[in-house]
Structure 1
Amino acid sequence: MRYGLFFGDSITYGEYDGVFGGWVDILKRYALQQFHEGKNELILFNLGIGGETTDGLIKRIPHELNARNAADGNIVFIAYGANDLAAKEGEKLVNPERFKSNILTAVQHAKQFSRDIYLVSILPFSSKLDGVVSVTGKMRVSGDVVVYNQILKDIVIENSLTYIDFYAAFLHDKEILLSEDGVHPNEKGYGMMAEIAIPIIEKYL
């Protein structure tokens, strides 16, 4: 038996998807179905917390990993950045340097429990939000998504990890894959994320 641990924010949690519950929940159901059909058991944990940044991640990841440690090993997914890069009153919640440091800290914790670590790209957001202060008081700029994703890509290369590029998959059709708030995917978007991720978890079934 293996565990798959998905760390992230509200996009990992599956917010705004009242149909499927988000991409991780789709994967959970898929893995369970495959187990019932005779495949290896892979139990997936959705550890997404709405609004969380990497500052929150590094506080809880050691405890979460300790609490869920499968005999046959863990697979760790780390999906952050959409909140980190948001600016409030002119200041980013987590600047690029601290974002890099936090992700590296999380990766070092994960390496104690897993050899299979995936960093997940930040999604593009709707053009109508670019540089606009939202009702929550946060402002996001499209160029920052590219900068923060590049940080993730560099960490992946330097640490021999794997990068899941949802950003590229969404970019062309983002306006039809995102929900009304322009940040979270809609059912179609979450479904596409799950389709991209299924071949990854297939390797462990």
Structure 2
Amino acid sequence: MKKIVYGLFFGDSITYGEYDGVFGGWVDILKRYALQKFHEGNGDELILFNLGIGGENTEGLLKRMPHELSARNSVDGNLVFISYGANDLAVKEGKQVVEPEQFKNNIQTAVQLARQFSNDIYLVSILPISQTIDGVMVSSGKLRTNEEVGVYNQIIKNIAADNALGYIDFHTAFIEDKEILLSADGVHPNEKGYGMMAEIAIPIIEKYL
């Protein structure tokens, strides 16, 4: 009997795939890849759910996560991807949206919630931002810095290490060529950036196909 495994991708607009009018973002590329493999008759069926919401931070995640997990719970197993931080670390009206210590607590709580449904949990790094908006308040009223990206990524990395979770390091992959992998807003990837993210993530989902 073939198994049906669910993959749940929690995140913000970068998970959702904003600004990618060609491929729909990295998660949608993975969805199509998994479906293609299934139709080729290879292994188990992996159904991926893009649960990214634009503008969301870890406070919003914790409110909806228990409901989303219970609504999409496969008896054959689940994978959970948690991809947050870009909105948490932003400064708005002179104050960080979610401060580092609270961010750490929120990610740890999210991991505990995910553990009730899955042994396969992956934390995803925050992408670097473009030099053009580093420390600059943008039209949304948010200000981000690469220094804070580093601080929050270290929190994510430490939680992954302490809990023996997967860690997907998109940040390192982007850092050298970020100016050509990010869209004009300096935060979201462009089609090329999203394509690179999918390439990095495909070997991870391959293990479940």
Alignment of 1:110-189 (within 5 A): 110-189=114-193
Structure 1 residue 90, shift from structure 2 partner: 1.3
Give the letter aligned to residue 30 of structure 1: Y
Equivalent residue, structure 2, for 1:78: 82
Whether 2:16 is the aligned partner of 1:13: answer yes
TM (norm. structure 1) is 0.99
Equivalent residue, structure 2, for 1:100: 104
Q: CA separation in 1, counterparts of 2:143 and 2:190?
A: 21
- 1:8-59 deviations in whole A, cap 9, x for unaligned? 0000000000000000000000000000011210000000000000000001
Give the letter aligned to residue 37 of structure 1: E
Equivalent residue, structure 2, for 1:51: 55
Structure 1 residue 178, shift from structure 2 partner: 0.3
* 1:4 aligned to which of 1, 4, 7: 7
Task: Give structure 1 stretches of 5+ with no counterpart.
Answer: none
Give the letter aligned to residue 73 of structure 2: N
Task: Give structure 2 stretches of 5+ with no counterpart.
Answer: none
| Moved >3 Å (runs of 4+) | none
Identity %: 75
Structure 1 residue 114, shift from structure 2 partner: 0.2
- 1:134-162 deviations in whole A, cap 9, x for unaligned? 00000001100000000001101111101
Aligned residues: 205
TM (norm. structure 2) is 0.98
Q: CA separation in 2, counterparts of 1:103 and 1:41?
A: 28
Q: CA separation in 1, counterparts of 2:200 and 2:76?
A: 24
Q: Secondary structure at the match of 2:185?
A: coil
Structure 1 residue 115, shift from structure 2 partner: 0.3
Q: CA separation in 2, counterparts of 1:78 and 1:51?
A: 15
Equivalent residue, structure 2, for 1:29: 32
- 1:101-131 deviations in whole A, cap 9, x for unaligned? 0000000000000000000000001001011
Q: CA separation in 2, counterparts of 1:14 and 1:188?
A: 12
Q: CA separation in 2, counterparts of 1:202 and 1:63?
A: 27
Q: CA separation in 1, counterparts of 2:47 and 2:175?
A: 31
